[in-house]
Amino acid sequence: MIVVSNTSPITSLAAIGQLDLLRQLYGKIIIPEAVYRELTEVKSPIPGTIEVQTYNWIEVRPLSDATRLVGLFSQPLDEGESWAIALTLELSAELLLIDERRGRSEANRLGVRITGLLGVLVEAKQKKLIPVLKPLLDNLKKTAQFRVTDALYTKILQMVDE
């Protein structure tokens, strides 16, 4: 399975010490160069900075045709989102990991199959890679400043019988 990731699933999972869930679920993930730059060209390391430089199951790929981005999107996206969606299309990847609303909207419009951080965690719980989800959600909200509405928080926990 070819899986491409944007920045936020990596930083959020790394912030709570659960980045390896991506390897356990998908074997490897591919990130575009723009996402790699977002994670590594920072003044001080952020969660995921070291990991994307050292984990052999995270592969950095260039876009073969960056001009493909011109006119592809109906609304402005940041560079990481744009490149992640374009790389997903270029590789005919089966899944894109992305959380940002505009990026998800554009990916859906372009027919890209997506999931976000919460979808990854639900899948990990369903596959028994994590025993309970609630402490991870709480840690995400606290440590990674991950925003989730109370209604979605409750819905996610109900989905996994917690």
Using one digit for the tens of pLDDT, what is the confidence trace for 72-105? 777 788 889 999 999 999 999 999 999 999 999 9
Quick one: tokens of 79?
């560079």
**Residue 103 domain-assigned (yes or no):** yes
**Residue 126 domain-assigned (yes or no):** no
Run of H or E residues at 115: strand 114-115
**Residue 24 domain-assigned (yes or no):** yes
pLDDT-derived band of residue 47, with 50, 70 and 90 as boundaries?
very high
Residue 48 has pLDDT above 90, yes or no: yes
**Residue 140 domain-assigned (yes or no):** no
Quick one: tokens of 121?
């965690």
Question: What is the pLDDT, as a whole number, of residue 70?
Answer: 65
**Residue 99 domain-assigned (yes or no):** yes
Question: What is the pLDDT, as a whole number, of residue 61?
Answer: 96
* Structural domains counted in the chain: 1
**Residue 125 domain-assigned (yes or no):** no
Quick one: tokens of 16?
């709570």
147 torsion bin: left (phi>0), alpha (psi -120 to 50), beta (else): beta
CA distance 35 to 52: 10
Question: Could you tell me the pTM of the whole model?
Answer: 0.92
CA distance 22 to 97: 10
